[in-house]
Each structure stands twice: as C-alpha cells, then as structure tokens.
Amino acid sequence: MRIVVTGAAGFIGSNIVKGLNARGIDDIVAVDDLTQGDKFRNLADLKIADYVDAAEFYPRFAQGGYGKVEAVFHEGACSDTMESDGKYMMANNYTLSCELFDACRRQGSRLLYASSAATYGGSATFRETPEFELPLNVYGYSKLLFDQRLRRELGPRLVGATTQVVGFRYFNVYGPREQHKGRMASVAFHEFNQFRAEGKVRLFGEYGGYGPGEQMRDFVFIDDVVAVNLWFLDHPDRSGIFNLGTGRAQPFNDVATAVVNALRPGLPGLDAAGAAAQGLIEYIPFPDALRGKYQSYTQADLTALRASGCDHRFADVQTGVARYMGDLTAAPRTGPLP
C-alpha cells in the first residue's frame, strides 16, 4: 500500500507517518517544504520510501508519476491564523488542494485532508453545516472554500464520492512534534517552555465575557487525531466532513494546571486559583491584535463522526497534557522556542 502524506515534516503529518509506521506501513511518499530545515527532526526517526519537495510533487502527482497511490493524507497548508496575505493563503490552502483533489479523482486515490475548526469562526455552534460556518480570518475562509468546493461537486455530505474523500475539522490539537511551529504551537507547548524558563505560565485575562483563563476550547491530543485518521483509512466506504475534537470544551486554566502539576512531580496538585496564588499562573491583558478575531469558546459536535461508526474515545486535557509533558521532558529534539 503506497501512501502519500503532504506536510509530512509538520506536526500532524509527521504523527500520521509515525502512526502508519506503527502498523508496518513504510511505503510512504513524504511531501513537504524544508526551507525551515529544522523540521527534518520530525522525520528523522521515521521510515519513509521517499521525500519529495512540495513544488515538485504536485505537478508530478497530477501526471501519475508516483504509480498507484492508495491514499493521500493532505496535511500540507499555511496554518498561520494571523497570516494576512490572502493571495498566498488561498494559493496554498485552496487552489493547491483543488488541484490535488482533481488528481486524486482521476487516479482513484483516496483523499483524507485537513480542514479546520476555524471554518466556524464567530459561531457558537460547531456542527458541519453551512449555517454555522462564519470564519474570522482568511485562513478559516481558505479551509471553508475547499470544503464548499467538495460539497458542490460531491453532494452536501460527500456521500456521492466514488472514491473516499474525508475532511477533518481539527480543533485545538496539541502534542509531540510541534516544536517547529513558533507562535502557532499549542498553548501546552508554550506553557512548558515558559515554566521551564520562568517558573510560571501566562494566560490571557478577562475577555469575551469570560474570566481570566476561563476562555474554553476543545483541546485534542495528537494521538487521538491520528487514531481517527487511521480509522477512516480502515473504512474506505466512509466519506464526509467531520469535526475532529473531543466534544468536550475545557478552559485554558485546565491546560495551565495540567502543565504546572506535571512539571512539579511529587508536589500536591493545584487548581487554577491555587496556582495563581503561588505565582505559578500569571494572567496578562488580552492583546488588542486578537480582538474580534479570537474564538473564546469551541466544542466539537461529534454527532456526524459517531454516525459514521467511529467510536474512538478521546483523552481529556488532564490526561493528554500529562502525557505530553512527559514526552517534552524526555525528548531531546524539543527545545525552547527561539
């Protein structure tokens, strides 16, 4: 079975390669752009058949240059939600994805691709239907437009696809192999580095009707994201656009206390109030640059995912973050952000 993973040196892509390797699958064409050379670390301990630069891959794949490809995990994208160059964003996230979809359809290759919870933006309901899709930035719009293209061509739920097409609306993913992402790395990763450097973590203060650190997100551990991707690989008859989160919103305070407690082994666990009282959590003013562009609450509606037959059980923040802190503490490849 030959598999292509785009964005293979990135966070989710490299973890998918790892998950495939765990199944004994190593006929993998890894596609990425290593201009940021340090990303090679995410592939160094993995088994692949070939590495191809993204600029070379897409035109060659469109011509059938990689033989029979069973499935493409399309994780490659510009994922910087603060990127304001709309032309660049649309070229990377929309146009390139459309070209890849057309090539997959011609060749009979399955397409499992990264959408985003950013498609919901200003909505308070997170269900995979158009009335709730209100992106707040061009990143979210670029992801939504590709979803809309597939709905238009394959039907509202993509059930008309003769070859599997699955879009995953990732919520707030965290876990190993995200060290290259800079400001776009997860809150848990930033807090790990903050605590290691300063002995405290920082959270946004009051905003959007939420108290300090009480803004809530659906935080999903990377191992769960990989498990759901591979479940759909095992079920080629299931197509659609699906939320990929835990279905459980938790406050940023929960992440912070999970980090603090994991990095103070042998000491009594603290709640947010106790950690703040000891100076282990610091609340900072909400940044003006994010006002009006920030989701203060997200929670994946898992109705469609469960209806597909996927019954995977997701880790909560306390469990997932504790596992992640253990990995960060042990892994030499992960250092402080520059």
CA 320 to chain centroid, in Å, comes to 15
Active site residue: 94, 139, 141, 294, which one?
139
Global pTM reads 0.94
Per-residue pLDDT averaged across 305-316, rounded? 98
Distances (CA, A) of 136 to 82, 91, 207, 298, 306: 11, 19, 17, 13, 28
Q: What's the rounded Cα separation, in Å, for the pair 32 and 94?
A: 17
Q: Is 181 a catalytic site residue?
A: yes
Average pLDDT across the chain, whole number: 94
Confidence of residue 79 (pLDDT cuts 50, 70, 90): confident
Q: What is the pLDDT of residue 270?
A: 97
Element (H, E) at 324: helix 317-330
Contact 112, 73 (CB under 8 A): yes
Q: How much of the chain, in percent, has pLDDT values that exceed 70?
A: 98
| DSSP 3-state of 188 | helix
DSSP one-letter code for 193 = H
Determine whether 47 is an active site residue: no
Rounded Cα distance between 297 and 295, Å, is 5
Alpha carbon dihedral 263, 278, 191, 122, in 10-degree steps, equals 130
Give the pLDDT confidence score for residue 122 in this predicted structure. Answer: 87
Q: Which of 66, 94, 181, 324 is catalytic?
A: 181
CB 207 within 8 A of CB 286: yes
**Residue 22: CB atoms within 10 Å:** 10
Rounded Cα gap, residues 91 and 100, in angstroms: 12
pLDDT of res. 332: 59
pLDDT above 90 (res 24): yes
Each residue of 87-106: pLDDT tens digit?
Answer: 999 999 999 999 999 999 99
